[in-house]
Homo-oligomer: A and B are copies of this chain.
């Protein structure tokens, strides 16, 4: 039996009226008319079965029944209010980020520290998965995904263009006397020959790449893993240039050609209606600044 409750609007009004000792003042406090207060009190009195106020000349005073109700009602509303506030603030407690592995390890992880420094009260939970998170089923706040930038119900912000280009370790390049022209790459082991990006890139380089089809597929499932294999000199792979600036700068990988092809872009996404939730706004503004994006680059 579901716990019998008084009419909530009425009792809310009652609480204010009891505190103020006046219907008129209560009405002012609640932003409604005195008539509405009178109506609600009367309603509650009928439900309770007893008068809650005595109507004295210039004021109303609580009856015994009324005054017995007040403390509990006040406390109850205090609790509700607190629960509400806590929930609203609490939503700023933890920021759940769902992102693809590559982006997490090659771009986000090295930089997320600066976000945490700026927002010490927001805890970050990083979750990497290969599928686009469903915000209604998983407790995530934002996602970073590559794709077309069109997802229904989600707000999207363009992060960076996924330019990719073949990369390999300098030692492997040396082992065949350096990479002079695109076709040289085919002399090496291609880590992920089935990857469509290879076809795109060779096409752009005007190099027939039928050979790719005959190579064994040894792809590892993520750019990060393949990058590691490449760094270890196991072969050559195509990688998103923006995500491996560190490896390129340190010489662990080289990008033999300026030529890049274009894949799906990276996007920041979150549920439409949550644009102004503080922690989401904070992250959005941070990442946009970090990437030098105009902050208004929103796509619907």
A94 interface hit (Cβ, 8 Å): yes
**How far is it, in angstroms, between the C-alpha of A12 and the C-alpha of B12 when the chains are bound?**
13
What residues of B have a CB within 8 angstroms of the CB of A8 in the complex? 8-9, 12, 80
Q: Quick one: which of A6, A46, A76, A274 has the most chain B CB within 10 A?
A: A76
Give bound CA distance, A48 to B30, whole Å.
20
User: Is A150 located at the chain interface by the 8 A CB criterion?
Assistant: no
Across the interface, do A54 and B137 meet the contact criterion of CB distance under 8 Å? yes
Contacting residue for A2 out of B6, B30, B274, CB 8 A: B30
Majority-rule SS of A interface residues = helix
Query: Assuming A54-B136, A55-B137, is B277 touching A3 (CB within 8 A)?
Result: no
Tell me if B68 and A90 are in contact (CB < 8 A).
yes
Q: Which of the candidate stretches A81-89, A105-113, A231-239, A258-266 sits at the interface with the other chain?
A: A81-89
Residues of A at the B interface (CB closer than 8 Å) are 2-6, 8-9, 11-12, 16, 29-30, 46, 48-52, 54-56, 63-66, 68-69, 72-73, 75-88, 90-91, 93-94, 135-139, 273-274, 277
